[in-house]
Structure 1
Amino acid sequence: MPVIRIDVPSGTPIDVQKRIRLGVKDAVLRTLAPKETKYDYVGVREAVAEIGDGVPLVEVDLRPGREPERKKALVDAIAEIMERELGAPPADLYVLFRETPSENHYCGGTPLPAWVPADR
């Protein structure tokens, strides 16, 4: 259950923002967290910036444990979405993964357990 914030240029049409949000939600389930379907924390916000100069910027906050291959797969999927929806070349995408211990993640007032792959 990562928390993902996506900055897009100010003035990006709301329908484009919605397609980005839904595309990233789908990409998370295909790459980063295939078993976590209950919670959905993907938000798109506008920033005063231009493609290649501050956006697209994606921040991913998550519990430790994802393999580098999962993270890379998510980055590649997001790059495709940004290129399709914003015309942003993959080289202009910046993705920051921030891992914090499980006990620092709460949902409904309860700390989350450690993350484990879907096959365990």
Structure 2
Amino acid sequence: MPVIRVEVPEGTEQTIKRRIREGVKQAVLDTLAPKEIKYDYVAVREAFGEIGDGLPLVTVDLRPGREADRKKALTDAIAAILQTELGVDPIDLYVLFRENPAKNHYTGGTPLADWVPSDQ
């Protein structure tokens, strides 16, 4: 379960936003949260700004527990997607991870359990 918001410049084509969204969803499965496809929420939205000056901005809200190497792998994967789709230099990408206790994450009116790696 992460909730990921990718902010891109106004006027970004719908097809590009769709490819970014699908690419990020796959990157989550490959790096951050294998086997958690039910709770992967990814939104791509337009914001006023310019590449390299506030955009792209990626916000990742998640339950605590992911190791730094998982977060780094997701960041690198998102950087590659945005470089391909928008020509963004990875140095211009800002990713913010915000961890909140599982009791603050609800789906279907029920709080999520604490996060544990899928192999445990």
Fold shared per TM-score above 0.5: yes
**In structure 1, what is the Cα distance between the partners aligned to 2:37 and 2:20?**
18
Instruction: Kindly state the Cα deviation for residue 38 of structure 1 after the two structures are TM-superposed.
Output: 1.5
Q: Determine if the alignment matches structure 1 residue 14 to structure 2 residue 2.
A: no
Q: Unaligned stretches of 5+ in structure 2?
A: none
Kindly report which structure 2 residues correspond to 1:1-120, keeping only aligned pairs within 5 A, or say none. 1-120=1-120
Secondary structure of 1:76 counterpart:
helix
RMSD: 0.5
One-letter identity of the residue aligned with 1:8: V
Q: Name the count of aligned residue pairs.
A: 120
One-letter identity of the residue aligned with 1:79: A
**In structure 1, what is the Cα distance between the partners aligned to 2:65 and 2:26?**
20
The range that moved more, 86-95 or 37-46, is: 37-46
One-letter identity of the residue aligned with 1:64: P
Q: TM-score, normalised by structure 1?
A: 0.99
Structure 1 residue ranges, 4+ long, deviating more than 4 angstroms after superposition? none
Instruction: Kindly state the Cα deviation for residue 119 of structure 1 after the two structures are TM-superposed.
Output: 0.6
Instruction: Kindly state the Cα deviation for residue 39 of structure 1 after the two structures are TM-superposed.
Output: 2.4
One-letter identity of the residue aligned with 2:105: H
